[in-house]
Amino acid sequence: MVRVGVHVSIAGSISLSVERAKAAGCDTFQIFSRNPRGWSFKPIPEEEAERFREALRDSKTYPPVDHMPYLPNLASPRDEIYEKSVMTLAAELERCALLGIPYLVTHLGHHMGAGLEAGQRRVCGAIDTALERAKNDVILLLENTAGEKNSVGSSIGEIQAVFDGIGGQERIGICFDTCHAFAAGMDIASEGGIGQVLGEFDEKFGLERLKVIHLNDSVGECGSGLDRHEHIGMGRIGEEGFRRILADRHLRTLPLICETPVDSRRDDKGNIAKVRELAG
């Protein structure tokens, strides 16, 4: 059995996200611990954190995953944005520890024209600072990007350059997004494609660093640089591509989280069911 889930809402309270995950049929799930579209946030009351932890224990839905908000840019050359981004990262690590969430996913950001190497140095510095401020056991997962202009982390080599520059590597893992990988030019849908990509991961990091999969189909063609997610099997990766991906022995052991649309064609339950069908 694969462990598959979706990103769920925390509307009303964070603890309600666990019940929403169960209702959708999730074995695992992802949340934003706060409003993802703003900088300001309120502390999580201890009683609310305890309700979340208790609901999590009762649900047997594991692991929960937290995702960084949209506004932070760890690669930014602008000091004001950079400092706010570092503060947000440290705060999210602390919120995860309070909630009992083992993984925090972060994008590596955009260098805004300062150059890839400069952006990578900024990301390494941001992560080192945040890990120093938030001394806990939460694992920070570096997510690959889709090959957009000025992005950091669109190839395995780019992620390795960031990983190698981080001091606290024992608290670093990888979140692999299938849509982003495909859009960035990794032909994971082809025969043997996912095996080649995972072989490179193993060479650069060791597969034990791969902790979570964002399982998303892609609206764009392979190498398009287009970060637009599609329902599982309905995009350019397609059903046959996902059969190949889900046949991989190592990937089948990892939490699979769909960040797919909800529309008239399919909902979250439908995407979870499709993943299980394609996984056999």
Tens-place pLDDT, residues 94-151? 999 999 999 999 999 999 999 999 999 999 999 999 999 999 999 999 999 999 999 9
- Report DSSP letters for 142-155, one per residue: EEP----TTBS-SS
- Assess contact for 33 and 9: CB atoms under 8 A: no
Residues 6+ apart with CB under 8 A from 150: 110, 111, 112, 113, 119
Mean pLDDT of the chain: 97
- Assess contact for 48 and 86: CB atoms under 8 A: no
Whether residue 171 is predicted with pLDDT greater than 90 in this model: the reply is: yes
The helix (run of H) or strand (run of E) holding residue 230 is: strand 229-230
Provide, rounded to the nearest whole percent, the portion of the chain with pLDDT above 70. 100
Q: What is the pLDDT of residue 267?
A: 98
CA 199 from chain centre, in angstroms, equals: 20
Query: Distance between CA 104 and CA 96 in Å, rounded?
Result: 7
pLDDT grade, residue 60 (50/70/90)? confident
Mean pLDDT within 36-45: 95
Tokens representing residue 62 in the block = 């594991």
Query: Distance between CA 278 and CA 63 in Å, rounded?
Result: 22
- Report DSSP letters for 94-144, one per residue: HHHHHHT--EEEEE--B-TTS-HHHHHHHHHHHHHHHHHHS-SSPEEEEEP
Q: Is the CA virtual torsion 146, 124, 92, 209 positive or negative?
A: positive
* Cβ-based neighbour number of residue 190 at 10 Å: 14
The helix (run of H) or strand (run of E) holding residue 256 is: strand 255-258
Question: Dmax of the chain from CA atoms?
Answer: 50
pTM across the whole model: 0.98
Mean pLDDT within 12-21: 97
Query: Distance between CA 138 and CA 94 in Å, rounded?
Result: 8
Tokens representing residue 153 in the block = 């982390």
Q: What is the pLDDT of residue 183?
A: 98
Q: What is the pLDDT of residue 1?
A: 86
Tens-place pLDDT, residues 218-263? 999 999 999 999 999 999 999 999 999 999 999 999 999 999 999 9
DSSP-based three-state secondary structure for 210: strand
Provide, rounded to the nearest whole percent, the portion of the chain with pLDDT above 90. 99
The yes/no answer on whether domain 3-279 falls in CATH 3.20.20.150 is yes
Closest to 63 (Cα-Cα) out of 137, 3, 144, 8: 3
Tokens representing residue 172 in the block = 């670093």
Q: Which residue has the tokens 């299980």?
A: 276
Q: What is the pLDDT of residue 259?
A: 98
Strand order in the sheet with 29-31: 3-6, 255-258, 210-214, 172-177, 139-143, 103-107, 64-67, 29-31
